[in-house]
């Protein structure tokens, strides 16, 4: 009782100087029904134990008869390395599987908004430098042990260690954050600078300290835990199926301890999720076509056309990949210094029919982009005030370029502008670049396409060795609309502002959005950023690749929202069910 009183007093005192954030949590989904498929072999651990259960390895398992265990089968291409959320960003297969086993303090909803998960609420200081995070007290690990702040502190300590060998940017970020356990269910985080995106950083999956006690960051990558994971998520490991030393399938079962939580009391009709691992895309598609698996999610938009070719045997659920295909102008190269002129950039933007460009080069693989942000993001700006700026207007393009020609003393028998377009030697991108060059050629603009291999492309992109460049900017794994890294003036030359954009209004809008830790005006700042971006033609957004989730028709209840990572497709898995064909 005294612990509870101390917690209440601490929170009350803290609220006096902090603003409480209480994101809405959706009500539990109604329980669906489904058709049974294959048999169970391993029952989950439901009682507390001092040591984690060992994984069940099944070699060359025989075909199982039908029974009452409802099994959903999904194909993945690649290999299983470590079922550990701290390494998941290094391998899409690991990320897909661990997303169902582990949870972070926060998660995202279908709009890309951050909402509570293992945290119940959080408070942020007015200076934006300190967060107090209150944890849920009704969560058990899948081995029955209680989840507490000790687990969070331990997980963060691994990320902060110089010996952590996961994603370098992950470790670099957490080494700038101080974390302190106030009590078993209250944490204090101290940041080096205000950062409105911090709640999203709390999505990283939490590890069980009791199961890894004594394990440091240098030992983590090779620890047996990576193939015998214990999480707090809706599903837990049931079996790993092998062919010799190769993992061919991973079976997950609904975690009984998750069923004890309000959000787990109903739904989750897919009692087992079986991930079957394939060596290549063609093998996975054949399995889908033959009925050996129920679903497959595209790795790249190039896979979409052949999936659609399966016809009525699949239902294609679609969203946007967290990628922007964009044409960048080099603002810093002396030979094309005219790209610093807003009139030149606008003329070139008006002179492109982006709809036809995307349809010709990327039919059924991408959709036209009208903004540097994803259309499914809560920060996306809709409406004529924004999108009208990108309508094709060849007459205006011609008139603007005529003024440019006059300024540059260009005679009518010469091209007004002449420059190169750098791209990767990928067929669809080469086609897109050639189509852009053809449309500009009609405006007396000569653009020469140069396609190079990916290594050369990356080296030239990083060094600014281009006039214009077709590039895909990825925010994989990042749901927040913060695009500071790509467009802020301070991110050149050592960041991802590859074109050297130097616009104070753009930078200020991004800075203010980052500093607005309470989120009250972030959407206003991002609308301002998009308006400035489009009105000045800072760059030319071209397309968003289409994310496709091909599912057999007897799987229902699937809804795709914002996709920050491929594993976000499981966001509504509690509503999925299997019906009779």
Q: What percent of the chain has pLDDT over 70?
A: 87
427-441 and 354-362 helices cross at what angle (nearest 10)? 150
Asked if pLDDT for residue 32 goes beyond 50, the answer is no
What pLDDT score does 580 carry? Answer: 83
For 410, residues 6+ apart whose C-beta sits below 8 A from its C-beta are 404, 416
- Please say whether the beta carbons of 125 and 20 come within 8 A: no
Q: What is the pLDDT of residues 225-256, one digit of tens each?
A: 999 999 999 999 999 999 999 999 999 999 99
Asked if pLDDT for residue 368 goes beyond 70, the answer is yes
What distance in Å separates the CA atoms of residue 333 and residue 510, rounded to the nearest whole number?
25
Confidence of residue 58 (pLDDT cuts 50, 70, 90): confident
What distance in Å separates the CA atoms of residue 70 and residue 64, rounded to the nearest whole number?
13
What distance in Å separates the CA atoms of residue 46 and residue 113, rounded to the nearest whole number?
33
* Three-state DSSP state, 149: helix
What pLDDT score does 83 carry? Answer: 99
What is the longest distance spanned by two Cα atoms in the chain? 88
What distance in Å separates the CA atoms of residue 424 and residue 510, rounded to the nearest whole number?
29
Asked if pLDDT for residue 20 goes beyond 70, the answer is no
Q: What's the rounded mean pLDDT across residues 551-559?
A: 97
Asked if pLDDT for residue 562 goes beyond 80, the answer is yes
Asked if pLDDT for residue 64 goes beyond 70, the answer is no
Q: What strand order describes the sheet that includes 178-183?
A: 18-21, 119-125, 130-135, 186-190, 178-183
* Three-state DSSP state, 468: strand
Q: Pairing mode, if any, of strands 315-320 and 540-551?
A: antiparallel
Report the candidate in 103, 186, 104 with the shortest Cα–Cα distance to residue 150.
186
Query: CA dist 117 to 214, 261, 371, 421, Å?
Result: 27, 12, 30, 45
Report the candidate in 202, 230, 245 with the shortest Cα–Cα distance to residue 57.
245
Q: What is the pLDDT of residues 459-508, one digit of tens each?
A: 999 999 999 999 999 999 999 999 999 999 999 999 999 999 999 999 99
Q: Which two tokens stand for residue 322?
A: 């967290």
- Please say whether the beta carbons of 78 and 224 come within 8 A: no
Q: What's the rounded mean pLDDT across residues 47-63?
A: 55
Q: What's the rounded mean pLDDT across residues 34-58?
A: 45
Query: CA dist 494 to 176, 259, 334, 485, Å?
Result: 19, 48, 19, 10
What distance in Å separates the CA atoms of residue 564 and residue 562, rounded to the nearest whole number?
6
What pLDDT score does 299 carry? Answer: 87
- Residue 383 — left, alpha, or beta (φ > 0 → left; ψ -120 to 50 → alpha)? left
What distance in Å separates the CA atoms of residue 210 and residue 142, rounded to the nearest whole number?
12
What pLDDT score does 60 carry? Answer: 60
Q: What is the pLDDT of residues 376-422, one digit of tens each?
A: 999 998 866 565 456 789 999 999 999 999 999 999 999 999 999 99
What distance in Å separates the CA atoms of residue 578 and residue 113, rounded to the nearest whole number?
29
DSSP H/E element including 426: none
DSSP H/E element including 551: strand 540-551
In this prediction the pTM is 0.88
What distance in Å separates the CA atoms of residue 234 and residue 239, rounded to the nearest whole number?
16
What does pLDDT average to over the chain?
90
DSSP H/E element including 352: none
Domains and CATH numbers, the chain: 2-294+552-578 (3.40.190.10), 323-545 (3.10.105.10)
What distance in Å separates the CA atoms of residue 82 and residue 255, rounded to the nearest whole number?
20
Residue with the two structure tokens 């089968």: 73
Provide Rg for the chain, Cα atoms: 26
What distance in Å separates the CA atoms of residue 278 and residue 479, rounded to the nearest whole number?
28
Q: Pairing mode, if any, of strands 57-59 and 130-135?
A: unpaired
What pLDDT score does 531 carry? Answer: 92
Q: What is the pLDDT of residues 89-131, one digit of tens each?
A: 999 999 999 999 999 999 999 999 999 999 999 999 999 999 9
Q: List 327's β-bridge partners, or say none.
A: 470, 540
The half-sphere exposure of 532 on its side-chain side, counting CA atoms within 13 A, is 18
Q: What's the rounded mean pLDDT across residues 284-293?
A: 96
What pLDDT score does 382 carry? Answer: 81
Burial 521-546 (b: 16+ CB within 10 A, else e): ebbebbbbbbbbbbebbbbbbbbbbb
Asked if pLDDT for residue 168 goes beyond 60, the answer is yes
Q: Which two tokens stand for residue 388?
A: 């009208």
Q: Which two tokens stand for residue 15?
A: 């609220």
- Please say whether the beta carbons of 558 and 572 come within 8 A: yes
Q: Which of 258-267, 305-314, 439-448 has the lowest mean pLDDT?
A: 305-314
- Please say whether the beta carbons of 190 and 129 come within 8 A: yes
| Strand spans (E) along 354-409 | 366-368
Asked if pLDDT for residue 25 goes beyond 80, the answer is no
Q: What's the rounded mean pLDDT across residues 550-568?
A: 96
What distance in Å separates the CA atoms of residue 21 and residue 516, rounded to the nearest whole number?
13
Query: CA dist 465 to 419, 454, 460, Å?
Result: 12, 14, 5
Q: Where are the alpha helices (H) located in 221-352, listed in sequence order?
A: 256-259, 281-290, 304-308, 342-350
Asked if pLDDT for residue 304 goes beyond 80, the answer is yes
């Amino acid at each position: 009782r005294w612990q509870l009183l101390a917690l209440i007093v601490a929170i009350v005192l803290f609220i006096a100087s902090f603003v409480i954030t209480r994101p809405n949590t959706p009500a539990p989904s109604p329980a669906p029904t489904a058709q049974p498929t294959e048999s169970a072999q391993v029952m989950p651990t439901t009682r507390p134990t001092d040591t984690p259960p060992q994984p069940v390895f099944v070699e060359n398992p025989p075909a199982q008869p039908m029974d009452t265990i409802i099994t959903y089968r999904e194909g993945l291409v690649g290999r299983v390395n470590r079922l550990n959320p701290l390494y998941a960003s290094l391998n899409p297969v690991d990320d897909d599987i661990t997303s169902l086993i582990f949870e972070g303090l926060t998660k995202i909803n279908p709009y890309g908004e951050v909402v509570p998960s293992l945290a119940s609420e959080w408070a942020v200081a007015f200076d934006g430098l300190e967060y107090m995070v209150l944890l849920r007290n009704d969560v058990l690990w899948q081995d029955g042990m209680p989840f507490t702040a000790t687990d969070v502190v331990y997980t963060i300590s691994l990320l902060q260690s110089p010996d952590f060998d996961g994603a370098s940017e992950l470790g670099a970020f957490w080494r700038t954050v101080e974390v302190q356990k106030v009590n078993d269910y209250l944490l204090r985080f101290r940041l080096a600078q205000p950062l409105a995106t911090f709640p999203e950083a709390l999505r990283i999956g939490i590890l069980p300290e009791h199961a890894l006690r004594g394990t440091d960051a240098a030992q983590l990558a090779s620890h047996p835990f990576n193939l015998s994971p214990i999480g707090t998520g809706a599903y837990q490991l049931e079996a790993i199926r092998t062919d010799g030393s190769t993992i061919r399938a991973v079976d997950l079962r609904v975690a009984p301890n998750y069923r004890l939580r309000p959000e787990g009391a109903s739904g989750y009709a897919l009692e087992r999720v079986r991930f079957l691992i394939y060596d290549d895309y063609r093998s996975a598609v054949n399995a889908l076509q033959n009925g050996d698996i129920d679903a497959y999610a595209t790795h790249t938009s190039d896979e979409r056309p052949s999936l659609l070719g399966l016809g009525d045997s699949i239902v294609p659920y679609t969203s946007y990949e967290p990628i922007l295909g964009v044409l960048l102008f080099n603002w810093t190269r002396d030979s094309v210094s005219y790209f610093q002129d807003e009139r030149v950039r606008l003329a070139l933007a008006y002179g492109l029919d982006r709809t036809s460009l995307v349809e010709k080069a990327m039919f059924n693989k991408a959709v036209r982009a009208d903004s540097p942000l994803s259309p499914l993001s809560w920060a996306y700006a809709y409406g004529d005030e924004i999108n009208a700026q990108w309508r094709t207007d060849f007459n205006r393009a011609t008139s603007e370029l005529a003024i440019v020609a006059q300024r540059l003393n260009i005679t009518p028998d010469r091209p007004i502008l002449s420059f190169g377009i750098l791209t990767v030697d990928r067929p669809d991108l080469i086609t897109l670049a050639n189509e852009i060059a053809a449309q500009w050629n009609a405006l007396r603009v000569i653009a020469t396409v140069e396609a190079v291999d990916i290594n050369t492309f990356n080296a030239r992109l990083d060094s600014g060795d281009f006039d214009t460049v077709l590039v895909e900017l990825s925010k994989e794994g990042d749901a927040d609309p913060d695009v500071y890294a790509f467009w802020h003036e301070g991110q050149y030359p050592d960041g991802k502002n590859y074109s050297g954009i130097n616009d104070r209004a753009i930078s200020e809008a991004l800075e203010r959005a980052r500093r607005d830790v309470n989120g009250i005006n972030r959407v206003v700042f991002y609308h301002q950023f998009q308006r400035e971006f489009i009105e000045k033609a800072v760059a030319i957004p071209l397309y968003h690749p289409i994310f496709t989730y091909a599912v057999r028709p007897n799987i229902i209840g699937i809804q795709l929202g914002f996709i920050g990572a491929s594993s976000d497709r499981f966001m509504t898995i509690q509503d999925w069910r299997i019906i009779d064909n």
